[in-house]
Amino acid sequence: MDLFEYQGKQYFASFGIPVSAGDVAHTVDESIAIAERIGYPVVVKAQVQVGGRGKAGGIKLANNKDEVRTHASNIIGMDIKGHKVKRVWIERASDIAEEYYASFTLDRAAKQHLLMLSAQGGVDIEEVAAKDPTAIVKLHINPIVGLSESVAKKAAVDARIPTKAQDGVASILVKLYGCFVKGDCDLAEINPLILKPTGEVHALDAKVSLDGNAAFRHPEWEAFAATQELDDREKLARDKGLQYIGLDGSVGIIANGAGLAMSTLDVVNQVGGKAANFLDIGGGANAELMTAALEVINFDTKVRSIFINIFGGITRGDEVAKGIVEAMRRVSLRAPIVIRLDGTNADEGRRILAEAGIAADKLITKSTMLEAARSAVAIANGKAV
Ligand code: GDP
Ligand code: MN
């Protein structure tokens, strides 16, 4: 679960990491009330789960009530890279002497935690990595040993953080690591981590992703979960109890099993297409489930073809075929289906589909995953089947 900046900052604060005083607002009036309470100047910050808010005009400094009104009314409702701004975070503006970068993630290959630290913060870390990889210090941390203040300080020295900021940075790194481990994060990132002219070090932004597998020991996460924003397709899928993730492409995907669904996305990608979604219908594939799956995919206006990829194990091919035939009676699809059906009772399934009297341009059967992917992508790209 990805947190909004304001939630990430609240989470940071609960682990002792210094953040600016602030509060979250849903309206212009609330924004003004918060600014009046914390004192000027303030920063009005769009709360959307996407980077580069500053460049998109979603972060503005306000010196008085009128400026808060102007900026808050511009930013609330703004669209940033497809994310609609519903809330703003109003915080006391900070004077910035320098901007750094710090993050903790899990390095699965190394089976250790990974600290990344750079004296060049405030910009995309990918940009820094591309321009000057030596500007980023990467340090593995053995989770059993943990991170001491002295090791953190050495990392700050290695990252060429100036002497006056090294202790402050080291202290925040130890706290951020505590947040990452005890707070069960997949990612805890501060960009920028700032040095103020007064010498204090302070988190100016927060990017936190929580490990959903640890939710059972964090009842406090429920408040975060309540604000998660699903797109309309995902809402519909959730209401129907489907394992669905919305993506940006034009090939709708239905597969049984998460592994096969992921491979299907890969194969579609490999032959030059883009998936519109991930959808795992799991073991059962009756008419109810297939109808629900096709309804959700049909709701997505970007979808140009639907690739159904089924490998029958427990799922039986004849059941799947009956489900598809019945679902096609119930749902009037805007895009054709390309199906690859294999495994248990696949022959029977293909016979049912062939005898159902569905127009040849509405349902195309292919015998391999690759052929089916090629066909679905060709249709999605407006080419012949
Ligand atoms: P992002 O663009 O979505 O990563 O949003 P950030 O929270 O990282 O803010 C982007 C940039 O806005 C920062 O790198 C700062 O340069 C600037 N900024 C944000 N808050 C303040 C502030 O309190 N004072 C000043 N002077 N600049 C700020
Ligand atoms: Mn940032």
Per-residue model confidence as pLDDT tens digits over 132-169: 999 999 999 999 999 999 999 999 999 999 999 999 99
pLDDT of residue 204: 98
Q: Is 40 exposed, middle or buried (0-12, 13-18, 19+ CB in 10 A)?
A: middle
Q: Which residues pair with 158 in a beta bridge?
A: none
- Output the CA 17–ligand 2 centroid distance in Å: 16
Q: Name which residue sits closest to atom 8 of ligand 1, judged by CA.
A: 205
Q: Are 42 and 93 in contact (CB under 8 A)?
A: yes
Residues designated as active site: 101, 189
Is CATH 3.30.1330.10 correct for 21-92? no
Counting ligands in written order, the one closest to the CA of 189 is 2
Query: Does the beta carbon of 205 sit less than 6 angstroms from any atom of ligand 1?
Result: yes
Where the chain has pLDDT below 50, the residues are none
Is the preceding peptide bond at 192 cis, omega within 30 degrees of 0? yes
| Amino acid 385: pLDDT | 58
* Per-residue confidence (pLDDT) for residue 384, from 0 to 100: 66
The pLDDT of residue 32: 98
Which are the contacts of 344, defined by CB distance < 8 A and separation ≥ 6? 312, 313, 314, 315, 316, 317
Ligand 1 and 59: CB distance under 6 A? yes
pLDDT of residue 147: 98
Pairwise CA distance, residues 16 & 369, whole Å = 52
Rounded to the nearest 5 percent, the helix, strand and coil shares of the chain are 40, 25, 35
- Tell me, using a 6 A CB cutoff, whether residue 189 lines ligand 1: no
Residue 146 DSSP SS3:
coil
Going by their DSSP bridges, the two strands 88-92 and 79-80 should be labelled as: unpaired
Residue to probe by mutation, ligand 1, list 9, 59, 78, most atoms within 8 Å of CB: 59
What tokens does 130 get?
């591309």
Q: Structure tokens of 156?
A: 């700050």
Atom 17 (ligand 1): residue with closest C-alpha?
54
Does the bond joining 41 to the residue before it have cis omega, within 30 degrees of 0? yes
How far from 119 is each of 5, 23, 53, 157, 194, CA to CA, in Å? Answer: 22, 29, 21, 10, 10
Q: Is 94 in the pocket of ligand 1 (CB under 6 A)?
A: yes
User: How many other CB atoms sit within 10 Å of the CB of residue 78?
Assistant: 17
Q: Smallest Cα–Cα separation from 377: which of 324, 321, 304?
A: 304
Q: Which ligand is nearest to the CA of 59?
A: 1
Question: Could you give phi then psi for residue 115, rounded to 5 degrees?
Answer: -95, 135
Task: Please check whether residue 14 is in contact with residue 231, taking contact to mean a CB–CB distance below 8 angstroms.
Answer: no
Cβ-proximal residues to 270 (8 Å cutoff; 6+ apart), any chain: 373
As assigned by CATH, the class of the 232-380 domain is alpha beta
**Which residue type is seen at 328?**
M
**Cα angle at 214 between 13 and 280, to 5 degrees?**
125
- Does ligand 1 lie within 6 Å of residue 280's CB atom? no
In angstroms, how far apart are the furthest CA atoms of the chain?
79
Residue 89 pairs in a beta bridge with 24, 45
Q: Where are the domains of the chain?
A: 21-92, 98-221, 232-380
State how far the Cα of 190 lies from the Cα of 34, in Å rounded to an integer. Answer: 24
What CATH homologous superfamily does 98-221 map to?
Answer: ATP-grasp fold, B domain (3.30.470.20)
**Are 121 and 136 within 8 A, CB to CB?**
no
Say what the pLDDT of residue 124 is. 87
